[in-house]
Amino acid sequence: MDHAAEAHRTDLMTITRHVLNEQSKHPESRGDFTILLSHIVLGCKFVCSAVSKAGLAKLIGLAGETNVQGEEQKKLDVLSNEVFVKALVSSGRTCILVSEEDEEATFVEPSTRGRYIVAFDPLDGSSNIDCGVSIGTIFGIYLVKDKDNPTLDDVLRPGKHMLAAGYCMYGSSCTLVLSTGNGVNGFTLDPSLGEFILTHPDIKIPKKGKIYSVNEGNAKNWDEATAKYVENCKFPKDGSSPKSLRYIGSMVADVHRTLLYGGIFMYPADKKSPNGKLRVLYEVFPMSYLMEQAGGQAFTGKQRALDLVPNKIHERSPVFLGSYDDVQDIKELYAAGSC
């Protein structure tokens, strides 16, 4: 018996232990952030459980309403939103919540108010529930300027001001990827323990990848830089091998693959959607934050994604994110086109 291997296997780094270790590096910390994250983790566990038995529980059908993005809401969307709103409010550590499913921001009652703002998409990719494709929850966390007087201006800030960001992917396993501004770590839910265990420490995206990810069905509406980049992926002029196309259509799954294997994920602006389709606060910012923390880049077609200043909570933006060199290539094409 390999006792060293067994000892390592029993010394489990749970997400709670990991966050407490991070907290201990900040003597001034009061533990509020740790409590907030534990409530987010609880929400993820609940949604993971609901997703895994959605068919049995008849949660897959439409809830009969349309959300603020004009998308038909699935029952699981509604459930996930309620779970996260209640988990975040009950933590006593939040003051403003911005959800993809709610038209207005939620301002927490003064009696249960805390210092943090959370922007989240409770169930991204939910149109894929019926066919078993991976879906997920995305979140970004900010610190409010004045806890006693929170305003929307506290939310409408560049992504570079985020304290933490992450996503939880519900697929063949339940994986939570998190950054608190000190690198990126991945945790996998062990169903027998009910705990997220550190399985992907200090994730670093490869400097260059072999995969590009984009909805080519929109190609006729693309701008010149995007079209040229994709053409170069398929027919490289330097004699290198063409890139492989992988596109799932669920942002969490596409970004997760990009983070681990490298390459580029693109949702560009086009003639049909001149401002892009992905929402800034709870899709573009958290994923861009994670990419940068892992050594990659994120770009909107005009600027660094995390420098963008949103004007409204459900604002949209184009995004190109992934391996440093791959994003650099498309930045150069945009720069050449604007000369």
pLDDT in tens, 183-202: 999 999 999 999 999 999 99
Residues 288 and 165: their CA atoms lie apart, in Å, by 9
Residue with tokens 């799932």: 248
| 211-337: CATH class | alpha beta
Q: Spell out the domain ranges in the chain.
A: 3-200, 211-337
Is the CATH code 3.40.50.300 the one for domain 3-200?
no
pLDDT in tens, 252-261: 999 999 999 9
What is the layout of strands, in order, in the sheet containing 135-143? 106-107, 94-99, 116-124, 135-143, 164-170, 174-179, 185-190, 195-200
The closest of 87, 93, 99, 97 to 112, measured between CA atoms, is: 93
Domains 3-200 and 211-337 equal at CATH topology level: no
The two structure tokens encoding residue 257: 């693959």
Residues 267 and 281: their CA atoms lie apart, in Å, by 15
Number of H helices, E strands in the chain: 8, 17
Residue 118 · residue 162 · CB < 8 Å: no
- Per-position pLDDT tens, the chain of length 339: 454 554 456 779 999 999 988 888 877 778 899 999 999 999 999 999 988 887 666 665 665 666 766 665 558 888 999 999 999 999 999 999 999 999 999 999 999 999 999 999 999 998 887 788 899 999 999 999 998 899 999 999 999 999 999 999 999 999 999 999 999 999 999 999 999 999 999 999 999 999 999 999 999 999 999 999 999 999 999 888 999 999 999 999 999 999 999 999 999 999 999 999 999 999 999 999 999 999 999 999 999 999 999 999 999 999 999 999 999 999 999 999 765
Report strand pairing: 94-99 vs 116-124.
Answer: parallel
| pLDDT at residue 130, rounded to an integer | 77
Q: Determine how many CB atoms are found less than 10 A away from the CB of residue 101.
A: 22
